[in-house]
Structure 1
Amino acid sequence: MNLTDLSQGAHARHLRILGHFAPEDSHGLGPEVKTVVLLGPDEPRFWSAFEDSSEYRDGAPDPMDRWSARVIGDWAREIGGGSLFSLWWPTLCTILPMGFGDRCGMA
């Protein structure tokens, strides 16, 4: 799978690729992790798709987290990858290369 394929897959899910990098051993992700792709909403069209989701409409807590886990998690499994979420793995943002930290709320 190449970056064009990933971009098209992200677009189909109302997301976009914000960046990507090859992690180093010091990041502690393990040797099987070859590339980390940072995803974000493809605004403004993302919001109407999210608001139509069952996670948004069911009234349960954390609809965005649950939507992300379902949509990104399912896609990652489809393409033979995995998913990591900064809310569930807070140290994820600390390993991002210079310039990515601001996307995790880090200045």
Structure 2
Amino acid sequence: MNTTVEWIRADERLPYDGAGILAAVTGRYPGEQEDDPDSLSGQEFWLVLPMYFRRIHPVEETGEIIENCFYDSDGVVRFPSPSVGRPARKWSRTGPKCRAFPAWTYSVSTART
């Protein structure tokens, strides 16, 4: 199935509370000085993960309340601002048929149920 995905900047607009979304997150491959310059070492990458958005997210272990965050099935919390912790830079609605985790049922341009 081919589909068009509308990516929304997380620092401009947030989804509704409890929304199942796809989040685009960034990371960087670890780099070492002795690595081959043509390797992926030190390069930035993008990853699309299924997540939920919460306006208020209580952390059971500490009692802390986190506002406006994205979280995944592993309990990793990401924030809409790139200057705070682990950012979720963009998000997209998953659609009515794509509400469940696991991550392997999703890809950037298609979704299988």
Q: TM-score, normalised by structure 2?
A: 0.22
Higher RCO structure, 1 or 2 (CA under 8 Å, sep 6+): 2
Q: Tell me which protein shows more strand as a share of its residues.
A: 2
Greater gyration radius: 2
